[in-house]
Amino acid sequence: MLDKVSRRHVLAGLGTGAMAAGFVPIAFEAAGASHPTTTSAPQKDRQWAMVIDMRKCDGCKKCTVACQETHHLPANFEWIKVFQVKDKQGREYFMPRPCFQCENAPCLRVCPVAATYRAKDGVVLVDQDRCIGCRMCMAACPYGARYFNYVDPPVPDKPYAKPTPEFPVSQQKGTVGKCMFCVHYTDGGKLPACVEACNMLALYIGDLVEDVATNGVETVRLSQFLRENDAFRYREELNTGPRVYYIAGHGQDLGY
């Protein structure tokens, strides 16, 4: 039903329909210590965000598998993890959890060597050449989004060039890795692996600056889409400022 190739390149056209007014992204602090940045051509200003429509998610975990294949991760590395949630009324729904790329990221603050940093596009990256493996960030992350390479990671058949924070493949043993919204794809106008793999079209990658988001088939105006569907951020009260928005309504307990 979906043509993968065409979906993948949808993002390149992002923004053409975006409106100037409307959603004003929050101000972002600049990236911290000097770090390698992406080498691709001059980029537009992006502030990546994700929308997860839990009404559509059927818990197939194709996103998890696609992520693991893309980044050559072992099976217990669920950079996007699909939780099966049973609410108080006994109803079940699924909640995929990527890294939330928090604007006020606890993991970033506690890193003793600035191996974790925020890139210009708002994505929190890990420089695995610098990480000392103290796992303070894992203690600090409220969402369990970080994964430590206790053992040697799987090596791709055709090894890639030197791993970068944007495309940390292969992972380095003894260091921490996590989801980075597939900036190695999005920078080139492609969809993140999980978004592309989602048959249910439940995952949207978006840009807060241009105020658009797409699941590869449908492109929406991000702020309006969030407002009209009563989107929320997980554990907003922690004030971490996640860049991932959830749309509830799959039968889960909304507290009333």
Partner 1 sequence: MDARTHELYVDRAMRNIGKTGVRWWVIAAALTACVAVGAYAWVYQLQRGLGVTGLNQKVSWGFYIINCVFFIGISYGGAITSAILRLTNAKWRAPITRLAEGLAVVALLVGAVYPLVDLGRPDRFLNLFAYAQVGSPVTWDWVAISTYLVASIVFFYLPLIPDLAVCRDVFGSGVRGLRGWSYRVLSLGWRGTPGQERLLLRGIGIMAVLIIPLAVSVHSVLAWLFAVTVRGGWHSTIFAPLFVLAAMLSGVATVILVIAGFRAAYGLQQFITQKHFRYLSYLLLALGSGYIYFMVSEYLTEGYVLEESTGPVLEALFVGSYAPAFWTFALGGLLLPLVLVALPGRYPIARACVASVLVIGGMWLKRFLIVVPGMAEPLMPWDWGIYQPTWVEIAITVGSVAAIPLGLMIMFFFFPVMSVHEMEEVEGVSEPAPVAAGRPVPALAGGGDA
Q: Interface with partner 1 by CB under 8 A: which residues?
A: 33, 76-77, 83-86, 95, 97, 106, 109-115, 130-136, 138-144, 147-152, 173-176, 238
Of 74 and 188, which CB lies nearer to partner 1 in the complex structure? 74
Which residues on adjacent β-strands are paired with residue 220?
Answer: 213
Rounded to the nearest whole angstrom, what is the least distance from the CB of residue 51 to partner 1 in the complex? 18
Cross-strand bridge partners of residue 244: 50
Q: Which is nearer to partner 1, 135 or 227 (CB)?
A: 135
Give whichever of 98 and 216 is closer to partner 1, judged by the CB atom. Answer: 98
Pair 86, 107: CB distance under 8 Å:
no
Contact 38, 183 (CB under 8 A): yes
Which among 64, 84, 83, 85 is positioned nearest to 75, based on CA atoms?
Answer: 64
The shares of helix, strand and coil residues in the chain, as percent rounded to the nearest 5, are: 20, 15, 65
Q: Which amino acid is at 154?
A: P
- We find the least distance from the C-beta atom of residue 7 to partner 1, in angstroms, to be 29
Nearer to partner 1, 65 or 201 (CB): 65
